[in-house]
Amino acid sequence: MLINGRYELEDLPIGRGGMGEVYLGRDIKLDRAIAVKFIRFPAGSYDQDYIRRFVRESRITARLEHPGVPAVYDVGTHENRPFLVMQRILGVSVADLVAEQGPLPVGWATAIAAQVCAVLAVAHEASLVHRDLKPSNLMLEPDGGVKVLDFGLAVAPDQPEFSRITVTGQPLGTPAYMAPEQIQAALTGPATDLYALGCTLHEMLTGERLFTGSTSYDVMSKQVSHPPAPVRGVRAEIPVELEQLLLDLLEKKPEDRPADAHVVYRRLTSFVTELSPLPGVLSPPGDPSPTRMYAAVLSRVFADAPVRRTPITPAPLARKPESVPPPPSLSVDRGQVRRARSEARRLAGKARYAQAADVLAGAVAA
């Protein structure tokens, strides 16, 4: 199948999700492997709400520039179905990894969780909350890297263009990984993603979901009211400190969880040891890995720099000589203001809100 005269796709999709299906293919113009995600209408008919969410995902994913997020290459429409062209990710989902191998070694479970924290840190700093973090949305690559997929339910509380995220009748996440506040009041924030990370880490360490039930309602009820079982009751070799971190992540109240993803990352890294080969999953140790080579050098940046324990007291500012004249004041006339407003309105009409805001901000500054 050839779309847009450029993307040659395989005949059958490799996977289907709640709102999309993914095909592998090749960009024949640039000669590179790609993955293309098409919108999928559950009822089989055109749905404007789903299209809006799909467009949101493409913009949200494109905003996140991080090695742990698949790159977005292009967007388009084929036979009235919007599609997103993305970096092809080779690897295995963490859900499949646990299903095949059972509980993961402590080092690998924490290594995967720490890499997810690195992605959450950049997402949360951009005011984006994933809201559907789970093992099936995490891909472990052959070089040991982790990619966080599917920002289709992400929300940006302080970004107007991304604030409306719910499709009527659609769930706000996956019950087995939903935080109590997400279930009870549809409230989400960075702490919501940390709770989902706790559920995912519990599953990696035990091979079982945190809570199960015969219905989604049963699972959500347990998320709200049942305390999590300590993992050392299942695996005695799990360090006490790691069990405590897991319990902290799974606190029912968001304010009782760790402060942010940076804190969780630091607490996880001490357990990231003995990353032995995972048969059939990782490239053999003898195979060259440019990614690991690159990361090995980066890990040494400032590695030997002394840690400053005392706050830095800024030096007093030198007094400006009286002979230096003040800088000239900036000003704009009414015509320039009208042009700025017109340009901002044009950009907003194309949903390019950030650029519109920049135009107005420039006029205000002047």
The predicted structure's pLDDT at residue 311: 47
Reply yes or no on whether the pLDDT at 11 is more than 60: yes
The predicted structure's pLDDT at residue 153: 52
Q: How far is CA 345 from CA 52, 192, 340, 352, in A?
A: 20, 35, 9, 10
The predicted structure's pLDDT at residue 59: 78
Nearest to 201 by CA among 270, 262, 112, 138: 112
Class of domain 2-87: alpha beta
The predicted structure's pLDDT at residue 335: 78
The predicted structure's pLDDT at residue 20: 73
Question: Counting Cβ atoms within 10 Å, is residue 68 exposed (0-12), middle (13-18) or buried (19+)?
Answer: buried
Question: Counting Cβ atoms within 10 Å, is residue 149 exposed (0-12), middle (13-18) or buried (19+)?
Answer: buried
* Model confidence, pTM: 0.77
Reply yes or no on whether the pLDDT at 182 is more than 60: yes
- The per-residue pLDDT for range 228-263, each reduced to its tens digit, is 999 999 999 999 999 999 999 999 999 999 999 999
Reply yes or no on whether the pLDDT at 309 is more than 60: no
- The per-residue pLDDT for range 194-226, each reduced to its tens digit, is 999 999 999 999 999 999 999 999 999 999 999
Is CATH 3.40.50.300 the classification given to domain 92-280? no
Report how far residue 95's alpha carbon sits from residue 133's, in angstroms, rounded to the nearest whole number: 12
Q: Do domains 2-87 and 92-280 have the same CATH topology?
A: no
Active site residues: 132
- The per-residue pLDDT for range 65-121, each reduced to its tens digit, is 899 998 889 988 888 888 889 999 999 999 999 999 999 999 999 999 999 999 999
Question: Counting Cβ atoms within 10 Å, is residue 47 exposed (0-12), middle (13-18) or buried (19+)?
Answer: middle
Backbone angles phi, psi at 338, to 5 degrees: -60, -40
Question: Counting Cβ atoms within 10 Å, is residue 66 exposed (0-12), middle (13-18) or buried (19+)?
Answer: middle
Any idea where the domains of the chain sit in the sequence?
Answer: 2-87, 92-280, 339-365
Quick one: tokens of 64? 């996140």
pLDDT band of residue 327 (cuts 50, 70, 90) is very low
Report how far residue 6's alpha carbon sits from residue 87's, in angstroms, rounded to the nearest whole number: 15
Kindly state the average pLDDT of the residues 117-132. Answer: 91
Reply yes or no on whether the pLDDT at 64 is more than 90: no
Quick one: tokens of 137? 């949305």
Mean confidence (pLDDT) of the chain: 83
Reply yes or no on whether the pLDDT at 325 is more than 70: no
The predicted structure's pLDDT at residue 338: 81
- Top pLDDT among 167 and 54 is at 54
pLDDT band of residue 318 (cuts 50, 70, 90) is very low
User: What letters, b where the CB count within 10 A reaches 16 and e where it falls short, cover 175-192?
Assistant: bbbbbbbbbeeeebbbbb
Q: Which residues pair with 32 in a beta bridge?
A: 27
pLDDT band of residue 298 (cuts 50, 70, 90) is confident
